[in-house]
């Protein structure tokens, strides 16, 4: 496993639509190595998730894992999940305001409106079908990662640009109010 270099905003690889992964590519040692590297890179950078284009590989692959994350200590635990060719289906009109950050957008956070309940249809790293529902803050994480596969960064979805903040000023001015809202969501959905 290798920790790969993370592309940052401005790199064109973050702005293209990533390719579908076919059965042959999925079974290849190169692709399995890529999956390992995405996981390793995500863990090394303390990300809650990482999409393949963020390591300069525009394939429809994301990894998500939250376990006492120092970047996002309020996020509930999510076991390691690898999604290939994921599709998200919004299950209700309800939304919440998520304060997001991204390893490809250094030192910036902002509020993005996300659906509270999403169905995830994908393949796992071996090609087995996955179909499950995510809710609350976890649903926000999944939407953020899958957006990367369509060349979308969270900053594109920040409608109120006055919420943009450095990480230090998030802690100073915005953290308390957000964590209160986040805890209410976690209490409701357990996620
Ligand atoms: Ni991101």
> Residue range 90-118: average pLDDT?
97
Catalytic one of 20, 145, 176, 183: 145
DSSP reduced 3-state for 118: strand
| Residue 145 known to be catalytic | yes
Condensed to tens digits (0 to 9), the pLDDT of residues 54-75 reads 999 999 999 999 988 888 888 8
> Residue range 161-183: average pLDDT?
96
Residue 77: both structure tokens together: 């635990």
Whole-number Å distance, alpha carbon 29 to ligand 1 midpoint, is 26
Whether the per-residue pLDDT at 1 is higher than 90: the answer is: no
Put residue 100 in one of left, alpha, beta given phi > 0 → left and psi -120 to 50 → alpha.
Answer: beta
* Number of CB atoms found within 10 A of residue 28's CB: 13
DSSP string across 20-86:
PPPHHHHHSHHHHHHHHHHHHHHHHTT-SEEEGGGGT--BSEEEEEESS-SS-TTSPPEEEEEEEEE
The domains found in the chain, sorted by start residue, are 12-189 (3.90.45.10)
Whole-number Å distance, alpha carbon 103 to ligand 1 midpoint, is 6
Please give the Cα distance from 158 to 164 (Å, whole number): 8
Backbone angles phi, psi at 158, to 5 degrees: -80, 105
Condensed to tens digits (0 to 9), the pLDDT of residues 25-37 reads 999 999 999 999 9
pLDDT at 117: 97
Task: Give 110: exposed, middle or buried? Use CB within 10 Å, 0-12, 13-18, 19+.
Answer: buried
Whole-number Å distance, alpha carbon 95 to ligand 1 midpoint, is 19
Residue 164: both structure tokens together: 């943009």
């Amino acid at each position: 496993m290798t920790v790969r270099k993370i592309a940052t905003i401005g790199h064109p690889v973050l702005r293209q639509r990533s390719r579908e992964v076919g059965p042959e590519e999925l079974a290849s040692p190169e692709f399995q190595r890529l999956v390992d590297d995405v996981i390793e890179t995500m863990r090394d950078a303390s990300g809650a998730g990482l999409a393949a284009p963020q390591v300069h590989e525009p394939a429809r692959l994301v990894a998500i894992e939250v376990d006492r994350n120092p970047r996002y200590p309020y996020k509930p635990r999510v076991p390691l999940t690898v999604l290939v060719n994921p599709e998200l289906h919004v299950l209700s009109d309800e939304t919440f305001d998520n304060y997001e950050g991204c390893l490809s957008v250094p030192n910036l956070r902002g509020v993005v409106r996300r659906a509270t309940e999403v169905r995830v249809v994908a393949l796992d790293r071996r090609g087995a079908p996955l179909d499950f529902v995510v809710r609350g803050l976890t649903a926000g994480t999944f939407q953020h990662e899958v957006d990367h596969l369509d060349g979308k960064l969270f900053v594109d979805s920040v409608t109120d640009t006055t919420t943009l903040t450095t990480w230090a000023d998030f802690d100073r001015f915005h953290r308390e109010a957000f964590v209160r809202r986040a805890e209410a969501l976690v209490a409701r959905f357990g996620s």
